Amino acid sequence: MIEQARRAFEKPVDASGIAAFRFTFGALIVLSVVRFFAYGWIDELYTKPKFFFTFWGLPFVSPLSGHGMHVVFAAIGLLAMMVAIGAFYRAATVLLFALFTYVQLVDVTNYLNHYYLVSLLAFLLCFIPANATWSVDAWLSPARESKQLPALHTYLLRFQIAVVYIYAGIAKANADWLLHAQPLNIWLNARTNTPFIGGLFALPYAAHVMSWAGFLFDTTIPFFMLQKRSRPYAFVVIVVFHSLTQVLFPIGMFPAIMATSALIFFSPGWPRSLLRRVGIKVSHVQMGSHRATIGRRAIALVSLYAVIQVTVPLRHRLYGGDVSWHEQGMRFSWKVMSREKNGSVTYNVTDPATGRTWEVAPRKYLTERQLNDFSTQPDMILQLGHHIGQEHRRRLGHDVRVTVDAFVSLNGRRAARLIDNNVNLIDISDGVGIAHWVLPKPAHDPPHFVPVS
């Protein structure tokens, strides 16, 4: 079986599909960087905040001071451009992966599923010779140009995109989404005046229909894209689906990244065929003239990567309860747009020496944008609680007790306490174990709201 897999992986395919992937990937990152500069997000995300939430195990990652982060983003833009055109590709992809991942790790509130996807794709491109053809590198060094590549590279990228879709679908396989149509009911109700389509959102069962459609789309689309006969129709559905989400929700580059990435499911020679169809002359590629060898070690590494990608999104199962509530295992799991959640957090600090208790408002440390994300996520609430405790310890010269009033409303439910307010956060360590200090999700089902136009 391994031998069979190896033969399939080694099978030479047209390299133009991978080249097109490389170009669109690089171009979209360039566009993202332009958006960051244009909208002032670099200052908003990296200069303005006084406090940064670090990822578990990575407390040393911090933003650069001064204009450092602007330089980093400019470098990301430049590197992405180099990747797009295939110039000094190897060095550019490695640096792009490193810098892009770094900026995502600076603050947990910046986490977005599509940025995580970009990091993973950049990582994969470090090992994929996507500059084999249609690149500056190939133009500068024609002897090293290769019009075909082992199929493994295409399979790997397809696998990555399929993982995103399928797990995004699995994240919707719950009662809130499928039975109660939440949070789509809430989101569509707020968009009943959207031009042309808003009226549809006010129809009975619109949220249910769209919830099921979204669930079925995510869980099945990779399989339809893998079938030659259904692929063109499936791609049209992808474009329509992502266009709709782009219109309705503020999800930035995600629809564009997913729609263009899905092109990897087409036959590896699709760009060459397309160019021929529009009358542009491109050379013909004779398949099988060169067959690369993929060693056992490479197959083992690819398998390991695949196992990690399949298991990491499932880790929330180990914690029990509802991941949308306790958030343990929420990140790096492709739970894309799966809940509507808002919180309110107030810390209470008690000085054991005097018995005096006072409040500390998170807004003293966080920007409005950070507050929005932080207020529903227990690990971040704990992290800021520790910071507040340390700050008071420095000022007072002794330990204080830090508790928190954290209330959260999930998918329209009445607000409930997220964290046990009797627990001294200073006594709690963040980790990968079950967070017993997080209270259970309210038992009642979410309500269904009536659309009002």
Site residues, another protein (CB under 8 A): 39, 41, 44, 112-114, 186-187, 189-195, 249-254, 336-337, 340-344, 346, 356, 358-361, 363-364, 368-369, 372, 375, 405, 407-412, 414-415, 447-453
Nearer to another protein, 55 or 187 (CB): 187
In the complex, what is the shortest distance from the CB of residue 62 to another protein, in angstroms, rounded to a whole number?
A: 22
**Rounded to 5°, angle at Cα 202 from 197 and 203:** 100
Nearer to another protein, 393 or 414 (CB): 414
d(CA 290, CA 300): 23
In the complex, what is the shortest distance from the CB of residue 344 to another protein, in angstroms, rounded to a whole number?
A: 4
Nearer to another protein, 70 or 191 (CB): 191
Helices 113-127 & 16-38 angle (0-180, nearest 10): 140
Hey, which residues does 13 pair with through a beta bridge?
149
In the complex, what is the shortest distance from the CB of residue 188 to another protein, in angstroms, rounded to a whole number?
A: 9
Please enumerate in sequence order all residues whose Cβ is within 8 A of that of 22, keeping only pairs 6 or more positions apart, or say none. Answer: 83, 84, 86, 89, 125, 130, 131, 135
Nearer to another protein, 133 or 338 (CB): 338
In the complex, what is the shortest distance from the CB of residue 85 to another protein, in angstroms, rounded to a whole number?
A: 25
Nearer to another protein, 65 or 354 (CB): 354
In the complex, what is the shortest distance from the CB of residue 345 to another protein, in angstroms, rounded to a whole number?
A: 9
Q: Which residue's entry shows tokens 């398998």?
A: 303
In the complex, what is the shortest distance from the CB of residue 129 to another protein, in angstroms, rounded to a whole number?
A: 30
- Rounded-to-10 torsion of CA 359, 365, 367, 368: -10
Long-range contacts of 269-278 (CB under 8 A, 24+ apart): 269/13, 269/14, 269/16, 269/17, 270/16, 270/17, 270/20, 271/16, 271/17, 271/19, 271/20, 271/134, 272/14, 272/16
Tokens at 215, concatenated = 């669930």
Pair type for strands 12-14 and 148-150: antiparallel
In the complex, what is the shortest distance from the CB of residue 319 to another protein, in angstroms, rounded to a whole number?
A: 22
Nearer to another protein, 110 or 219 (CB): 110
Please enumerate in sequence order all residues whose Cβ is within 8 A of that of 422, keeping only pairs 6 or more positions apart, or say none. Answer: 403
Count of C-beta atoms within a 10 Å radius of residue 35 = 12
